[in-house]
Amino acid sequence: MTQHDPVTQHDPMPQHDPVDPVGLGSPAGRYRMLRLIRGFEELALGLVKSGEITGGIHPYIGQEAVAVGVCAALRPQDRITSTHRGHGHVLAKGAAPDRLLAELLGRTGGLNRGRGGSMHAADFSLGVLGANGMVGAGGAIAVGAAWSARQAGEDRVAVAFFGDGALNQGVLLESFNLAAMWRLPVLFVCENNGYATTLPAATAVAGSATGRAAAFGIPAAEVDGMDTEAVRAAAAEAVERAASGGGPGFLECRTYRFEGHHTMERLMKLRYRTPEEVADWRALDPLPRAAALLPPGRAGQLDASVAQQLDAAREFALASEHPDPAGALEHLYADGLRPRTGSGA
């Protein structure tokens, strides 16, 4: 195989490594995941444009270093909650790109059998407790997961990803208090991409993000969110502290989304960022920075391997079946209670 398949020969995604099943343990593996997320988003953007994905998505392009850096610091048993901009987190925790894409397309082969879509993608088998459409909602859910792990005597850390916009949701601040009072193994990861939709964080967040966590006695650090290795180092420290009983941590990752808030944004012709600002941040693209850590030629090989994987994902997702409308309310109740039919059913 070595001769004929130089691409997969070095594929850093070991299929059966129980400690590092997603393969984020090496710089090559992390680069590969950055590329996978980037490529996945580009593919999804194309499918939105062609009308195959209905409703649009919130692209993660530009912020990949945060998901990859944080998830590289996690163990398989650790859990995450995610946001409306969640594809990167879900992939970096190990979800299969083909099933995530099928979910975005609303197909039966999707992670959520087509019932969740982009904003609710979840994979409980990997500890992905769901992307969430309500800003800030995942924060306290992660606190609950951390509490429950501790009660069960399990060594698991929970990570809550959220944006700068979520910093103004009361429930998130309430959950800082609970996590700190009870010294729960939870890591709050604020992806400060500078905007909540069009609202600049500079005009919305009084004080500082880290200051808010620090006010609750939670150790808080600010980190370059365009640098995978910096995020990973900061996250590893916080995860280790949380796992060894040191209580919650908070990371503010300074990052940027290169695309619009949502794929509808282009149609709306919103203007809230200057082209110069976008260009300045694009110059900090996490991908070339991660590629620079690899031996010459390696990044290109990994790119090719990712491209193959995404082709296969696209094929899988588009071939997956649409759910039967007769089952539109399946899974509404875990106990199988059948709701009465309405006029639409």
Partner 1 sequence: MRLSYTKALNRALTDALAEDPAVCVFGEDIGAGMAGPTLNLLDRFGPGRIVDTPLSEQAFTSMAIGAALTGRRPVIEFQIPSLLFLVFEQLVNQAHKFSLMTGGQSAVPLTCLVPGSGSRDGWAGQHSDHPYGLFAHAGVKTVVPATPTDAYGLLRSAIADPDPVVVFAPAAALPVRETVTWELAPVPLGSARIHREGTDVTVVAVGHLVHDALAVAEELAPEVSVEVFDPRTLHPFDWTALAASLERTGRLVVIDDSNRSCGIGGEVIATAAEGMRLVAPPRRITRPDGTVLPFAPGLDRALQPSRGQLRDAIGEVMKHRAPVRPHGEGPAR
Ligand X SMILES: Cc1ncc(C[n+]2csc(CCOP(=O)(O)OP(=O)(O)O)c2C)c(N)n1
Q: Would you give the distance in Å from CA 138 to the centre of its chain?
A: 12
Give me the 237-256 binding string for partner 1, x by CB under 8 A, dash otherwise: --------------------
Stretch that binds ligand X, among 26-34, 99-107, 157-165, 273-281 (CB under 6 A): 157-165
The distance of closest approach from Cβ of residue 334 to partner 1 in the complex, given in angstroms and rounded to an integer, is 4
Write the interaction track for partner 1 spanning residues 178-217; mark x where CB under 8 A is met and - where it is not: x--x------------------------------------
- Closest CA relative to residue 75, chosen from 139, 156, 17, 177: 156
- Residue 133 makes contact with ligand X by CB under 6 A: yes
Question: Contact, 72 vs 232, CB < 8 A?
Answer: yes
From partner 1, ligand X, none, which one binds at residue 158 (CB under 5 to 8 Å depending on kind)? partner 1
**251 near 214, Cβ under 8 Å?**
no
Buried b (16+ CB within 10 A) or exposed e, 292-317: eebeeebbebbbebbeebbeebbebb
- Of residues 74, 149, 239, 287, which one binds partner 1 by CB under 8 A? 149
Q: What x-and-dash track marks residues 170-199 binding ligand X by CB under 6 A? A: -----------------------x-xxx--
Does 341 participate in binding partner 1 (rule CB under 8 A)?
Answer: no
**What is the β-pairing status of strands 220-224 and 199-200?**
unpaired
Please identify, using beta-carbon distances, which residue of 92 and 121 lies nearer to partner 1. 121
Return all residues near 219 (Cβ < 8 A) that are at least 6 apart.
Answer: 213, 238, 241, 247, 249, 250
For residue 111, how far is the Cα from the chain centroid?
15
Binding site for ligand X (CB under 6 A): 84-85, 133-135, 162-166, 169, 193, 195-197, 261
